[in-house]
Structure 1
Amino acid sequence: MDATITPTAPPARFEGSEAAAAFIAKVQDFIRGELHPLAVGHGITHESGAPKALLQQVWMRSRELGFYGVTLPQPLGGAGFNLVDHVLIKEAIYASGSPFAAHVLGELTGPPRVGALARQATPDQMERFILPVARAEKAVCFAITEPEAGSDAGALQTRARRDGAEWVLDGTKRFISGSPFCDFAVVIASTSEDPAARETTAFFVERDRPGFRVEAGYKTMAGQSHTGNIVLEACRIPAANQIGERGRGLALALGRITVNRVLHCPAMLGLARLALEDSLGHAARRRQFGQPIGAFQAVQHMLADMATELAAARALMLSVARTLDGGGEARAEASMAKLFCSETAFRIADRAVQVHGGEGIVQGSRVEFLFRLLRMYRVLTGTSEIQRNTIARELLGAAVR
């Protein structure tokens, strides 16, 4: 997939605030005017990712323009957007088609990873960890998943034991997004003295400490290489690196899970919009039997279904965002949004491949890449099956209350 930037038509009615609309316009200018030439000049695509030095340029420039820390709490420089504005901003960024989309707001290794930790961080941790990320000086990753702890996040085998004024960590974290670029990781480890008991604690762990190793080099099915394993072998950190209370690690990590599930939706839908727009363009250009293929009812029906399902998924996403903005809990609804948006986005990409025919199955075409990437979202950040479990649990719980 190349670095072509797709000019996306805005919705007939913008659902967010005037401030969000203005912010999106500025971000789109940044993507078109600076990030697109940067990607082309360095040969950066979604599958031939940028080295860290180049990403640092993107992070710093985004911060200079006021984009990078937009999701942080306002005292740290955040813009104070509500969730509806946030999902619309994120959707617009991903719908641009830029290979730097995940770096404009710092989603992979930046402020969104630590914003919720600011309330738990000590003054020392603010200076050493939170503020350097907010200033785009350091990159962070969040390390929970392990070979035997995926959907069951509490079944952690990575252990942290107290040794005087230090903690000693041993274990392996797997499939950690952003780990190849990180300067430090937020690691969730078991601190229970009884292996059968579940007690987890969170720690800041610097990459340059002895016993910390990143094993990267493998790629996802979408061809991306920004994921790796973190291996901890007798890695010693000061007790001051513990985040929050002992035994509250998973609670801290998952404390915003409802909001985070909604925040995964705009990326999927922005990418699905790309697939739809590429299909509309192809249907108008590609000719068979003396006319554009868009004149055939079979193609028209696929396009109509794609547009209808995209509209339905966006409506659900925005509805849940409004509920959360209004103070509602919406745990089941957030899982519904993640489930429906990920499944819908993949169906749209699947139809996009069908509309493109032979061109759609050739590696290097955008819809072929989107098909692979959107297939991954049905697994990432909570599988569709886990979302169904959550929905059913909430529904059944409500029925007996």
Structure 2
Amino acid sequence: MAREEVNIAKGLGKGVEIVEELRNKKSADNLFAGIFNGSPPFDDVASISWLRPSAEEKQKRDKVIHDLVRFLIRKVDLYTIDNEASVPLEIFKGMAELGLYGMKVPEGLGGKGLSNSSYLDALGYAASWSSAIYIVLSAHNTIGCPFPVMYYGTEEQKAKFLPEFVKWPTAFCLTEEEAGSDAANIKTHAVRVREGNKIVGYRLFGQKWYTTNIILSDGVALARYLAVVARIVNHRDEIENEKDYRKFCYGLFIVPTESKGVDVGTRNTFIGMRGIHNSNPKFNDVHIPIFNLIGERREDWESDRGWGPREGSGLKVAFESLNTGRIAIAKGCLGVAKQALNISRWWSKKRSQLGGPLQNKELVQDKLVYGASNILAMEAMINYASNCFENGQDVRLEAAAAKVFCSERTWQIVDNMMQLRGGRGYETWQSLSRREITPPDDMIWLGSRPNRIFEGANEILVQFIFREGTDKYIKAGMPLMSKDSSIFEKARAVLNLVGYYVRSMQLWSSDKFKSHEIHEKFIQHRSGRLARKVITKSVRYRTELAVKQLTLDRLSRISINLGAMLLSLAYARRLNYDRMFYDYSQLADVFCQATRKEVESLFSDLDSNDDDLRYKVSKELLNDKFDDLLLGGIIPITEYDMRGPKN
């Protein structure tokens, strides 16, 4: 990190320092970075292939999807899985027989060899039918053991591990009791084992939380292999005593669950996604061969820091896997949103109230159109992010934006479904099915909520989007944020920011969007305005901007919405070309009209808000002011009451 970045990061905590150290230092340069910079890449977006597979790829994809859909319909009873809160063992075996645990693994190593986009297509079908099956497949194929080995493993590691991974689910172990989004709090650690000066292995200690696919039943492992992120130390006491983050060394290890000292614990249960096989595993002096350490080799780390081969990149590999994981979450949301809209449309035709079918009521029609128009935008964002990934481009912004947008829009579509279903939606399917047929309303509703938490809480991701999207500004203006900068450095920073400010006034256009010129011009102007707002807010607040979370949230959401508008227009244009019987641009128009209002509201709130008042009131609230109002007339639940059943 540059000197100024170190000083600012220190003020935000050790976790931020570590993330800054490990983040990709190259500025993002795709769609959302362009929007932050005031130069939306209209022609690039208009000319992308939108994931048209080759004939060979299409044949492989269609075969996998055909087998998966037939398997889901014939074998997977989503009601039984929800009722028993478990996926039957024969279902896991059936998916193994179909090769679904190796969808992205090369064919030469036993997998199906699907592209990321083809894999996501299959994942969408699973998500629309059963959240439990979607979770099993995504937790394994997206962020489980195959990813780090495929992208960071040596040829020897790929040859040994990948043929094993395609046979059965694996699990990814990152989260801990005190380590969610804050990597600095990871306590699970691997102690180096040496013979002389040579590192020959590691001994693993600690506990992870919320590990999916790890457990079949209490004390019985489901996964055969785990990808475990841990700090690497020479002595166990370094975990508590070492304060210099630059000495924090992370590794990603492949750990067989049959290893002595691995305890998968007892299954966690959740209010939704009841078929998820999840627990909090413990590691007590688990021996790990040095061969099982996955990561890139950095000679500078080995020489300067004294780290062993492939040590130090564990968190980087984990962060990279989370990029693809966020796209997979978005795809799962899309499958759920389409199913929720399907149920909403079915019910609006079937149900009559107040003199006519629901489908004839404007308020109902508005909910249906909201769902359809946002599904178009969601699919466009997912396909664009996947397209960038397959082309080897940086997708950190696109993945985060797709995850935030799709999880939030899906939740609204699902909530609209619940409103249309009325009391039937809130009644459990077990109860309602005694009187009439019942769609899985409650399963969809409860299963959709965690998507705003998984793979990074949305509140964290919008801050991440701002940090990555404005990296060029941060680098240009960094001397202004440091007391140690010289007058010359600060003057040069001012000139750099003025240059960006002036360039943001340049209008960018494309002849590809003439039919929606009004929306194109809106995106042009508001993108430039966003760039100027970022610059002026940065100059005004300087180092304090990093803690102005409401401001960063608004700026990030403007970029997300503008990107969704542009992608929906481009995607509708492609769909109209491919499927000439329908005018998909109508859906894009509806989406853009509504999103324009959201963008304008966000801009308004940037300069006219009550953030300072809310901050002041929150401090008083946390100091127990207003308790006569807020706690009066209720029995406040205390920690004593939170212990669970008293018997």
Please state which band the TM-score falls in when normalised by the shorter chain. Answer: 0.7 to 0.9
Q: What code does the residue aligned with 2:226 have?
A: A
Q: Deviations over 1:6-64 (max 9, x none)?
A: xxxxxxxx96425565555434543453333323499434863223x32432232212x
Q: Alignment length, in residue pairs?
A: 380
**Contact 2:229 2:250 (8 Å CA) reproduced:** yes
TM-aligned CA deviation for residue 246 of structure 1: 1.3
CA distance in 1, matches of 2:57, 2:421: 34
CA distance in 1, matches of 2:324, 2:65: 25
3-state DSSP class of the match of 1:100? helix
Higher mean displacement: 327-336 or 82-91? 82-91
CA distance in 1, matches of 2:61, 2:85: 26
3-state DSSP class of the match of 1:142? strand
TM-aligned CA deviation for residue 260 of structure 1: 3.1
**Which of 135, 141, 145 does residue 175 from structure 2 map onto?**
145
Structure 2 match to 1:389: 463
CA distance in 1, matches of 2:266, 2:321: 28
CA distance in 2, matches of 1:41, 1:391: 36
Q: Deviations over 1:68-87 (max 9, x none)?
A: 42312454355554444443
Structure 2 match to 1:109: 140
**Contact 1:71 1:112 (8 Å CA) reproduced:** no
TM-aligned CA deviation for residue 386 of structure 1: 1.8
**Which of 259, 273, 282 does residue 338 from structure 2 map onto?**
273
Structure 2 match to 1:348: 413
**Contact 1:167 1:239 (8 Å CA) reproduced:** yes
CA distance in 2, matches of 1:291, 1:31: 40
Q: Deviations over 1:72-118 (max 9, x none)?
A: 24543555544444433322332345753445xx4333586214413
Q: Deviations over 1:259-289 (max 9, x none)?
A: 3322321111001111110111111111223
Q: What code does the residue aligned with 1:239 have?
A: I
Structure 1 match to 2:212: 177
**Which of 389, 392, 414 does residue 324 from structure 1 map onto?**
389
Query: 1:210-221 to 2 correspondence within 5 Å?
Result: 210-221=260-271
CA distance in 2, matches of 1:147, 1:336: 27
**Contact 2:102 2:165 (8 Å CA) reproduced:** no
Structure 1 match to 2:104: 71
CA distance in 2, matches of 1:34, 1:258: 29
3-state DSSP class of the match of 1:333? helix
Structure 2 match to 1:90: 123
Q: What code does the residue aligned with 2:249 have?
A: E
**Which of 25, 43, 60 does residue 96 from structure 2 map onto?**
60
Structure 1 match to 2:323: 258
2:277 counterpart of 1:242:
no
Structure 1 match to 2:371: 306
More helix by share: 2
CA distance in 2, matches of 1:93, 1:19: 23
Higher mean displacement: 231-240 or 356-365? 231-240
Structure 1 match to 2:601: none
Pair 15,255 (structure 1): closer, same or farther in 2 beyond 3 Å: closer
Higher mean displacement: 121-130 or 53-62? 121-130
CA distance in 1, matches of 2:472, 2:424: 49
Query: 1:194-209 to 2 correspondence within 5 Å?
Result: 194=238, 195-196=242-243, 197=245, 198-209=248-259
CA distance in 1, matches of 2:472, 2:56: 38
CA distance in 1, matches of 2:467, 2:78: 50
3-state DSSP class of the match of 1:380? coil
Q: What code does the residue aligned with 1:205 have?
A: V
Structure 2 match to 1:159: 189
Higher mean displacement: 380-389 or 322-331? 322-331
TM-score by length of 2: 0.54
Q: Which has the larger radius of gyration?
A: 2
TM-aligned CA deviation for residue 290 of structure 1: 4.2
**Contact 1:39 1:99 (8 Å CA) reproduced:** no
CA distance in 2, matches of 1:319, 1:32: 25
Query: 1:187-198 to 2 correspondence within 5 Å?
Result: 187-193=228-234, 194=238, 195-196=242-243, 197=245, 198=248
TM-aligned CA deviation for residue 124 of structure 1: 6.1
Pair 374,19 (structure 1): closer, same or farther in 2 beyond 3 Å: farther
2:442 counterpart of 1:368:
yes
Q: CA RMSD in A?
A: 2.8
3-state DSSP class of the match of 1:163? strand
3-state DSSP class of the match of 1:234? strand
3-state DSSP class of the match of 2:285? strand
CA distance in 2, matches of 1:269, 1:23: 22
Uncovered stretches (5+) of structure 2, i.e. residues with no partner: 1-49, 195-199, 216-221, 296-309, 430-438, 477-647
**Contact 2:140 2:171 (8 Å CA) reproduced:** yes
TM-aligned CA deviation for residue 257 of structure 1: 3.6
Higher mean displacement: 351-360 or 306-315? 306-315
**Contact 2:251 2:314 (8 Å CA) reproduced:** yes
CA distance in 1, matches of 2:442, 2:121: 25
**Which of 233, 248, 253 does residue 284 from structure 2 map onto?**
233
Structure 1 match to 2:150: 118
TM-aligned CA deviation for residue 163 of structure 1: 3.0
CA distance in 1, matches of 2:384, 2:276: 34
TM-aligned CA deviation for residue 392 of structure 1: 0.6
2:162 counterpart of 1:130:
yes
CA distance in 1, matches of 2:470, 2:454: 25
Pair 161,69 (structure 1): closer, same or farther in 2 beyond 3 Å: same
**Contact 2:75 2:91 (8 Å CA) reproduced:** no
Pair 27,254 (structure 1): closer, same or farther in 2 beyond 3 Å: same
Q: What code does the residue aligned with 2:140 have?
A: T
Higher mean displacement: 223-232 or 353-362? 223-232
More strand by share: 1
**Which of 61, 67, 86 does residue 49 from structure 1 map onto?**
86
CA distance in 2, matches of 1:15, 1:95: 21
CA distance in 1, matches of 2:68, 2:121: 16
Structure 1 match to 2:552: none
**Contact 2:61 2:118 (8 Å CA) reproduced:** no
3-state DSSP class of the match of 1:118? helix
CA distance in 2, matches of 1:201, 1:84: 29
Pair 340,119 (structure 1): closer, same or farther in 2 beyond 3 Å: closer
CA distance in 2, matches of 1:129, 1:111: 16
CA distance in 2, matches of 1:125, 1:20: 26
